[in-house]
Amino acid sequence: MAANKSQGRSFGLFLGGLTATCAGIAAFSSGMGKAALVIGLVVLAASFFTFIKLKPLEGKIALGSQPALMKLVGAVVTAGGWLLTLFGLHLTTSVGARMVIALVGLAISLVGMIGILPAACNKNAIWKA
Amino acid sequence: MKKFRNRVWICAVALLLAMGNTAHAQAGSAAADLKAATAAAPTATQMSQGDPGGTLTGTINDVPVSNAKAGVTVGDVANQVGQNKIAINFVWTLVTGFLVMFMQAGFAMVEAGLCRVKNANHTYMMNFTVYACGLFAYWLIGFAIQMGGAAGNGNLGGLATLAPEHMITLFGTHWGLWGTQGMFLSGHTYDVGVMVIFLFEMVFMDTALTIVTGAAAERWKFLTFCVSSVLMGAFTYPLFGNWAWGGGWLSALGSNLGLGHGYCDFAGSGVVHAVGGLTALAVALIIGPRIGKFNKDGSSNAIIGHDISAVLVGCFILAFGWFGFNPGSTLGASAAGNLRIGTIAVDTMLAGCTGTFGAILYMWIFKGKPDAGMGANGLLAGLVAITAPSGFVNTVSAAIIGFIAGVLVCISVAFIENKLKVDDPVGAVSVHGTCGLWGVLSVGLFADGKSNYGGAWNGVTGSVTGLFYGDASQLVAQLVGIVTLIGFVFTFSFVLNWILDITMGQRVSAESEVAGLDLPEMGQLGYPEFVFKPEPAFMTMAEEGAVA
């Protein structure tokens, strides 16, 4: 399936829902704001429901399945290096030690980003078949 | 003793009287000067004759008077001076913002030129539509998240309404997470200064968004691209933008933890380019390579773009726009050290120059030809890398930073394609991601401690100074910024686009991909009168290789 009217409608719904949600957040202290937030969230949910309904109509795509668990591990490791750095900065006031902590965190994040995740995303790549 | 005290009192009173008389005399003299200037100003009759030499226009006659009876006063002149300072800064920031906005045209030409002719309309349309998607999302909520706590910019009149920043307290220090004011630019943020900073920050945000379209070109479903871009403009970019530029925790690493001047990113190697480049990598990983890009043994095929002239002209448009990007990031041309704009502009052009040399020489020496596509990417790589340090380094450092970026982009393109097996049709991940991170790092190495924008940066007194000029702690702050870009921005983008892949699908059908996206996704060919050359067989083996 290529671009069509249903996709256009669902995107319009998404934009409308996001606008109402943001208006609700901006005016949350008022009754109207709360109502707008609820309406916006409902419309946003509806737009995602239509996205899900439209997805299978796309037809065959040139992409193999990517193992979800491995992707999740990659994302966790990438974020883990960052969190390690953040908390490590508070363990010492030495510039040298903080630099080492930042470099260790960076190395861990890089393992996740350019080690695990590309391997996960290419595990069942169609060009391998 | 009593006599001595009396004498002291008499002296003090005499001194005060003398000072009062001097002040009165000075005020009187100023008033007399103003009167004389008013008397010497051109008359209405003289003005009615025209002013071909430009010697009569722009005099005391043009200073607004608060009290017509009193004429021009010192107060009127002082107010006009303040107004002029802000006006100069407003005009500077707006005009440089317009230049950055025009970079969208350059990006569109570069990306479309590097793609095949059958996807030209789709690629141009992504670069066109991303402007609307980003701007709308930024107006709704993105600006509030990024700059809604960024009050205190004296260049633009204080921006007092952009407060407070939402903070949390950890380990006894306050860390800013996001702004709270400015949604829809309504309420107190309906303010002239806020409008200026909105326009300037918005065009930066859109630059980051348009980077992603290059890495995902020729296979990205238009609907998903639209939703992904809106979400990036609303959340991903503004969050990191707040942490670096909006008073958030990264900018406070200096004042909170003593790490130099905190994370320093003058014009956005990290905030704009690395955010765009890393998001591009996240999307490219999820969306997978184009049909025919890789062979069974993992080797890659070159998929040549359709218009190298568009690529090179687009690069020059981008280089032109970069004079808005970097010098404009002073947010003013008057006061607070802003006269450094000349140095920033020269740093920018030099880094682009050496970046071009770095890439061309690398390709010529190691591959045998001064490749045009990589030369273009070398120019952009140098410009991307100098974006963060442009406000803090001298011209020699700028040239070194640019040259390293030019070489780095060639190595990175090969690494991403051959080792990671990620298909990035335009080299966006390498140009903006890799070289953006290099730019952030280079601040911590090359900042020479000579630029002092009003006495302090990120709330820390003094000038930003890197490792080579004696401050190792600045390098740590930059490393923390880099880890945040990879650990948070990349991960956040990856998870967000993964969710979109699950719910709506990121990739077009294999059938559309082989046919070219212009007709199925856009309904119109980019070049309807062209006769398409048949593609090699490996690029059309869609049906048998495709999976649902």
CB atoms B487 and A126 under 8 Å: no
Q: Are residues A107 and A79 in the same domain?
A: yes
CB neighbour list of residue B89: distance below 8 Å, 6 or more residues apart? B155, B156, B331, B332, B333, B334, B335, B338
Interface size between A and B, measured as CB pairs under 8 A? 190
Q: Which helix (H) or strand (E) holds B176?
A: strand B173-179
Domain count, chain A: 2
Which pLDDT does position B171 carry in this prediction? 83
Give chain A's radius of gyration (CA, Å).
22
Contact A89 B140 (CB under 8 A): no
In this predicted structure, the answer to whether residue B278 has a pLDDT above a threshold of 70 is yes
Q: Which residue has the tokens 């100003």?
A: B41
A11 and A50, same domain (yes or no): yes
Q: Residue A63 domain-assigned?
A: no
- CB burial of B85-123 (b: ≥16 within 10 Å; e: otherwise) equals bbebbbebbeebbebbbebbbbbbbbbbbbbbbbbbbbb
Same domain, A88 and A119: yes
Is B28's pLDDT higher than 90? no
Q: Do B289 and A127 touch (CB under 8 A)?
A: yes
Contact A95 B422 (CB under 8 A): no
Residue where one domain finishes, among candidates A58, A78, A96: A58
- B15 band by pLDDT with thresholds 50, 70 and 90: low
CB-nearest to A2 from B257, B483, B512 is B512
List the single best residue of A53, A63, A91 to mutate versus B (max B Cβ within 10 A). A63
CB nearest to A127's CB, from B227, B285, B295: B295
pLDDT of residue B16 exceeding 90, the answer is: no
Outline where DSSP puts E strands in B105-153.
none
Confidence band, pLDDT 50/70/90 cuts, at residue B18: low
Average pLDDT over residues B199-218: 98
Instruction: Find the closest chain B residue to A78 by CA distance.
Output: B487
Contact criterion met (CB < 8 Å) for A3 and B522: yes
Mean pLDDT of B342-348: 97
More confident residue, B533 or A47: A47
Q: State the pTM of this model.
A: 0.93
CB nearest to B503's CB, from A51, A75, A90: A51
Whether A23 is covered by a domain: the verdict is: yes
CB-based contact B485:B278 (threshold 8 Å)? yes
- Closest approach of B70 to chain A, Cα-based (Å): 47
**pLDDT (average), residues B47-69:** 92
Among B184, B186, B223, the strongest candidate for a mutation testing the A interface, having the largest count of A CBs within 10 A, is: B223
Nearest residue, CB atoms, A22 vs list B140, B171, B285 = B140
Listed residue (B487, B484, B472, B486) closest to B259, CA to CA: B472
State the Cα angle at B187 between B239 and B226, rounded to 5°.
Answer: 40
* Span A6-65, pLDDT tens digits: 999 999 999 999 999 999 999 999 999 999 999 999 999 999 999 999 999 988 998 888
Chain-chain contact of B546 with A19 (C-beta, under 8 angstroms)? no
**What pLDDT is stored for residue B24 in this prediction?**
57
Mean confidence (pLDDT) of chain B: 93
CA distance A107 to A94: 20
In chain B, % of residues over pLDDT 90? 85
Average pLDDT estimate for B205-213: 98
Q: What is the pLDDT of residues B236-261, one digit of tens each?
A: 999 999 999 999 999 999 999 999 99
pLDDT at B455: 86
As a whole number, mean pLDDT of residues A63-73 equals 93
Contact A78 B494 (CB under 8 A): yes
| Dihedral angle, C-alpha B144, B146, B151, B155, nearest 10 ° | -120
CB B400 within 8 A of CB B438: no
Report the phi/psi class of residue B407: left, alpha or beta, with left for phi > 0 and alpha for psi in -120 to 50.
alpha
Within 8 A of B303 by CB-CB distance, chain A residues are: none
Q: What is the pLDDT of residue B30?
A: 86
B465 forms bridges with which residues in the sheet? Answer: B448
Q: Are residues A78 and A42 in the same domain?
A: no
Chain B interface includes A48 (CB < 8 A): yes
- pLDDT digit string, tens, across residues B449-466: 998 888 899 999 999 999
pLDDT digits (tens, 9 = 90+) for B162-194: 999 999 998 888 999 999 999 999 999 999 999
Residue A80 lies in a domain: yes
Same domain? A98 vs A74:
yes
Asked if residue A128 belongs to a domain, the reply is no
Owning domain of residue A102 = 68-123
Distance separating the N- and C-terminal Cα atoms of chain B: 105
Buried b or exposed e, range B409-442, using 16+ CB within 10 angstroms: bbebbeebbeebbbbbbbbbbbbbbbbbbbbbbb
Considering only residues 87 to 116 of chain A, which have any Cβ-Cβ distance to chain B shorter than 8 Å?
89-90, 93, 95-96, 98-99, 102-103, 105-106, 109-110, 112-114
CATH of span B81-511:
1.10.3430.10
Residue A76 lies in a domain: yes
Is the pLDDT at B547 greater than 70? The verdict is no
A12 & A43 share domain: yes
Rounded to a whole number, what is the distance in Å from the CA of A117 to chain B's nearest CA? 8
Contact of A31 with chain B, judged by CB distance below 8 Å, is answered with no
Q: Is the pLDDT of residue B9 over 90?
A: no
**A2 CA: distance to closest CA in chain B (Å):** 5
Asked if A51 and A82 sit in the same domain, the reply is no
> CB–CB of A59 and B511 under 8 A?
yes
- Choose the closest CB to B547 out of A58, A63, A83: A63
Tens digits of per-residue pLDDT, B105-154? 999 999 999 999 999 999 999 999 999 999 999 999 999 999 999 998 88
CA–CA dist B330, B342 (Å, integer): 11
Instruction: Give the pLDDT score at B548.
Output: 44
End residue of a domain, out of A34, A58, A82: A58
Domain boundaries, chain B: 81-511
pLDDT in tens, B280-322: 999 999 999 999 999 999 999 999 999 999 999 999 999 999 9
Same-domain status, A43 and A73: no
Q: Which residues of B touch A52 (CB under 8 A)?
A: 503-504
> Which stretches does DSSP call E strand in B447-502?
456-457, 460-461
> Is-contact B545 A126, C-beta < 8 A?
yes
Specify the DSSP element, H or E, that contains B178. Answer: strand B173-179
Residue B503 to residue A55, Cβ atoms within 8 A: yes
Q: With CB atoms and an 8 Å threshold, state whether A125 touches B184.
A: no
Q: Residue B294's beta-bridge partner residues?
A: B300
